[in-house]
Structure 1
Amino acid sequence: MTQPERAGLSLRDIAIRLDGRLLIALDAHVAPGETLTVMGPSGSGKSTLLAYIGGFLDPIFDAQGQVLVDGVDLTALPADARHAGILFQDPLLFPHMSVASNIAFALPPDVKGRANRRAIAEKALAEVDLAGFGPRDPDTLSGGQKARVALQRVLLSRPRLLLLDEPFAKLDMSLRAQTRRLVFDQARAAKLPVILVTHDAADAEAAGGAVFEMNGAP
C-alpha cells in the first residue's frame, strides 16, 4: 500500500553501509518548520546522512531508502535538482564578490534585472541587521556576520529543505545562541523542514524537535 503523502521531509527506510557495515538506519518525518537533530561523535556518519539527503553521497557508500519533500521523491534526482539548502561550519562566501553579490548570486534565474536582484539582496541583509553591508568585502565581516550572510543566501535560493552541518561549531560562544536563534526562527518562518547534525547538546535544545542519536562508527 502506498504511504500517504505528507507535507515536509520524509526519510523512508534509509540505510547507509560502508564495506557491508551498517552506518545509518533511519525512518523519520520532519514537518515544515520543524527540525530533526542527528547527534553523535565525529566519524559516526552524521554528515554522510546529509550527503545522501542532498544527493552528493560518495559512491564508496551503499545507500538505499527514499527522500521525499511534500510527497515529491528526490531520491533519483541529482543534487542540483533537489534544491536542498546547506549550511556548513564555514560560510563559504565567494571572496571575489561583494556581500550583496554573494546573496544575489543565489537568486533563481526567474528573478530578472540586476537592480532588482541587488534590491532583494539588500533587503535580505537588512532583515538580519546588516543594512548597508552590501558593498563590503566578505573578508571584512565577523564570523557571526558571515553566518548571517550565508543563511540569507541559502534562503533566497528557494530551498525545499535545509541541511545544517554543524554551522555553529566555529562561532564564539557569545555568538552561538544568537545565530542559532536566527537560523531556526528563519527556517520556521519559511516553513522549511530542517536536518541538523551536531555533537553539541545545546544545538539540539535550541532546535527543538526530535533527536536521533548515533553511537559512532562501527
Structure 2
Amino acid sequence: MSTDIRLVVLDMAGTTVADGGLVEQAFRAAARTLGVDDAGSEHERMLAHVRATMGESKISVFRHLFGDEERAQRANAAFEQAYHDLVDAGHCAALPGAEDAIRALRDAGRTVVLTTGFSRATRDRILDALGWRDLADLTLCPAEAGRGRPYPDLVLTALLRTGTESVRQIAVAGDTGYDMLTGTRAGAPVVAGVLTGAHGEDRLRADGATHVLPSVADLPALLAR
C-alpha cells in the first residue's frame, strides 16, 4: 500500500450518499414520459441496462436507450425532475459514516473530491439537501470533466484541478464497476469498491477493484495502514 495518497476521489450516490432506489424511481418516471409501459418487457430491458451501467453519465445512458438526441434529452429532463422531487421530499441521506470519513481524510491532509454521473443541477440539489457544499475540497460532474464514467476524465480532472502531482497519489472509491474502471484507467494505485450501492464484490473485482470494503467509512483506516 502506498503511503503517499494525496488525493481521494469519491463517488456520491451509493458510496457516500444513500441511493435507496431513487435512481430507479426517477428512471421509471422518465420512461413513462416517453411512453414506455412500466409493466412491459421493454421497460424491464431498459431497467436492466440502467442497473448494469450505474455510475455512468445519465445522459449517456438515455442516449443509448432512446437513440436520438431529442428523445434522450426529454428522458434526461424527466429523470432530473423526478429525482429532484424525491430529494426535495426528503428522500436523500448520507450513508452511515460517510461524512465522518470525508472529514477524517481531509484531517489527515488528503484532498477529497466528490464525483457523480448526475448533472450539475442534480449534484447541487443533493449537496444542498445534505448541507455538504463545503464538505469536500471539490465536486465534479461529467459536464465539468469531458466524459463521464467509465472514462478516466473525472479522476484526471480532479488531479489537474487540485494540483496533485501524480496519478500514483490517487485513491478512488465507488460502488459500481464503472467507478472501478474509471480508477484503473486513470492509473490510481488504490481503487476501492464499497458494498453499499449498486454492484457486488464479483463485479467490482472484475472491473479492477484493488480492495473491497463494507463501506466508505472503512477507507480512512485502509489508507492509514
More RCO (CA 8 Å, sep 6+): 1
For Structure 1 versus Structure 2, the TM-score category normalised by the shorter chain is: 0.3 to 0.5
More helix, by proportion: 2
Normalised TM-score (structure 2): 0.31
